[in-house]
């Protein structure tokens, strides 16, 4: 299924990939290792490159299923680095080069090429910091059309494909675009501050999420496998393209890099990377462009499309710490089933109806497996929700409905993971029906039903929160899948907390991400209230 999935679901999509397909990962919630932008960039870039080195040497062991001896497929790691999505008129392609010795950095409208090696070795963190500082200190103006160039990667795919064919296939434009597309990855040194602020937790996290998912629409290269974003105050994040891999793969890189940065590389007392600067390293070079006016017009049109899309994203990112996995397990329930049923209850209260729900599960028990859908809105979950909302229903009965719904959810999840799901099967039948020119009203109907609630759990894979409780991360999120629906991503953090990311569209009068967020928190607490457990919810 995977090659068809990659092509038809991702690469053939002709609309913007920003917001609709790309997703993001956040920094630690509270921990701020340094406030120096160049230093944070130096360490995190070095840590990512150490991960790449391990990957190239095949030293990253396959992930084992739930601590067992069953390995998951590692194929998705192959195109993590030195890769870019290339626009085409009918379909995009993924271009991967074997090795890349540079990155491209965007700062205040200019693009810089930064070599990662000097004297035949990888640059040390302090040396990368020095290179980043040189870019921050460079006050040259962007060239004509350069500042907003990346808006081409944020708008519709066809105008970008045509512009690339017309203006970027020769001369310095080709050379510069080549540098971006063949870079190990892309880096943005953002000139604004972002991240969680204690004095304004709600607005700061929401703005941070929006910045990571779309930014200004021209300061992230949305076609690169990932863009590393380093903010002015030293907070960081990632924006990732979706066709080459699913979120757990990016999450593994991200957790490893952040653990390396904090636990191994560290910072000096004044916030700089450890080690010494090196004046022998050549200064980063500016990429050269000759962007004609008609191309600048295409850039502006792409930007208008992207801004309209970005301005319509209603994002709410919040930390739930009334309880977590610890208490849910005391209730003898699977944490994922608990959260999914809370989402069903919250959604019913929010919208007054049940909706087709998508939960992504992984199929990496199989070679080249990607995802399968768990349809979490079931007859059993609806019975439970109605029982919760019926004041005449006894707690005992509601609890019985909860147990049935949770068991059903776990059963569906297991089926999906073990290749017995239905959605990828239907998708393949649809592809074959198109190929054979056989019309199937059933497949047409089933595959055009909108997922009004699209959900995904991000796994916590590497950082040990028992040993390093301060290294609490917020996970990441994605945009709404339906115009009149919600996207919900959540990460179960240690024993006592869960972070949620809720997205919807402002243009839809029925949805409201903050209202849904409140409904999620209330549903979580209300369901836990069914169980007489000693640790009461704190909020």
Single out the residue of 42, 347, 27 nearest to residue 212, CA to CA: 27
Single out the residue of 226, 257, 254, 188 nearest to residue 81, CA to CA: 226
What residues contact residue 437 under an 8 Å CB cut-off, 6+ apart?
none
**Which residues does residue 488 pair with via DSSP β-bridges, in sequence order?**
455, 502
CB 241 within 8 A of CB 225: yes
CB 488 within 8 A of CB 502: yes
Give the span between the Cα atoms of 145 and 303, in whole angstroms.
12
Give the span between the Cα atoms of 481 and 146, in whole angstroms.
31
In the three-class reduction of DSSP (H, G, I as helix; E, B as strand; rest coil), residue 207 is classed as: helix
Give the span between the Cα atoms of 377 and 398, in whole angstroms.
17
Integer Rg of the chain from CA:
24
Residues identified as active-site: 242
CB 488 within 8 A of CB 481: no
CB 47 within 8 A of CB 116: no
Residues in the chain: 539
The beta strand positions in 213-341, using DSSP E, are 226-230, 236-240, 285-286, 313-320
CA torsion, ordered 205, 206, 208, 209, to nearest 10 deg: 110
CB 118 within 8 A of CB 281: yes
CB 14 within 8 A of CB 161: no
Single out the residue of 317, 344, 324 nearest to residue 500, CA to CA: 317
Q: For 84, list phi and psi in degrees, rounded to 5.
A: -145, 150
What residues contact residue 356 under an 8 Å CB cut-off, 6+ apart?
375, 377, 449, 450, 451, 452, 453
Give the span between the Cα atoms of 320 and 144, in whole angstroms.
46
């Amino acid at each position: 299924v995977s090659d068809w999935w990659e092509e038809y679901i991702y690469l053939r999509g002709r609309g913007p990939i920003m917001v609709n397909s790309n997703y993001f990962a956040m920094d630690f919630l509270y921990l701020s290792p340094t406030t120096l932008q160049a230093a944070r960039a130096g360490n995190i870039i070095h840590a990512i490159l150490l991960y790449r080195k391990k990957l190239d040497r095949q030293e990253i062991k396959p992930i084992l299923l739930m601590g067992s001896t069953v390995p998951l497929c590692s194929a998705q790691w192959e195109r993590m680095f030195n890769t870019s999505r290339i626009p085409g008129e009918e379909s995009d392609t993924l271009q991967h080069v074997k090795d890349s010795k540079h990155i491209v950095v965007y700062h205040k409208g200019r693009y810089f090429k930064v070599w990662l090696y000097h004297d035949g070795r990888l640059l040390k963190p302090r040396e990368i910091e020095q290179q980043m500082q040189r870019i921050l200190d460079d006050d040259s103006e962007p060239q004509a059309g350069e500042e907003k160039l990346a808006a081409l990667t944020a708008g519709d795919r066809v105008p970008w494909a045509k512009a690339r064919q017309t203006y970027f296939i020769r001369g310095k434009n080709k050379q510069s675009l080549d540098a971006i597309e063949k870079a190990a990855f892309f880096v943005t040194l953002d000139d604004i501050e972002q991240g969680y602020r204690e004095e304004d937790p709600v607005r700061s996290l929401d703005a941070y999420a929006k910045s990571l998912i779309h930014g200004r629409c021209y300061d992230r290269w949305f076609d690169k496998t990932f863009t590393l974003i380093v903010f002015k105050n030293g907070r960081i994040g990632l924006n990732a393209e979706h066709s080459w891999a699913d979120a757990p793969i990016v999450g593994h890189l991200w957790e490893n890099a952040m653990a390396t940065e904090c636990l191994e590389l560290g910072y000096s007392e004044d916030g700089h990377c450890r080690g010494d600067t090196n004046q022998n390293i050549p200064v980063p070079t500016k990429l050269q462009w000759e962007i004609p006016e008609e191309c600048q017009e295409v850039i502006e049109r792409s930007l208008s499309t992207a801004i309209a899309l970005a301005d319509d994203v209603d994002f709410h990112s919040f930390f739930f710490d009334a309880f977590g996995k610890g208490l849910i397990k005391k209730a003898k329930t699977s944490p994922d089933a608990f959260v999914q049923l809370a989402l069903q209850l919250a959604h019913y209260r929010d919208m007054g109806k049940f909706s087709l729900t998508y939960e992504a599960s992984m199929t990496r028990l199989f070679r080249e497996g990607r995802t399968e859908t768990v349809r979490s809105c079931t007859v059993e979950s609806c019975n439970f929700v109605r029982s919760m909302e019926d004041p005449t229903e006894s707690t005992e009965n509601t609890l019985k409905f909860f147990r049935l719904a949770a068991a059903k959810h776990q059963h569906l999840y297991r089926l999906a993971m073990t290749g017995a799901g239905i959605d990828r099967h239907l998708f393949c039948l649809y592809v074959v029906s198109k190929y054979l020119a056989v019309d199937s009203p059933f497949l047409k109907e089933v595959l055009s039903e909108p997922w009004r609630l699209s959900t995904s759990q991000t796994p916590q894979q590497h950082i040990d929160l028992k040993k390093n409780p301060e290294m609490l991360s917020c996970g990441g999120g994605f945009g709404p899948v339906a115009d009149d629906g919600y996207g919900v991503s959540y990460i179960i953090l240690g024993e006592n907390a869960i972070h949620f990311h809720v997205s919807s569209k402002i243009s839809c009068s029925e949805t409201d991400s903050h209202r849904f967020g409140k409904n999620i928190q209330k549903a979580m607490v209300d369901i836990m209230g069914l169980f007489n457990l000693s640790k009461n919810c704190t909020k």
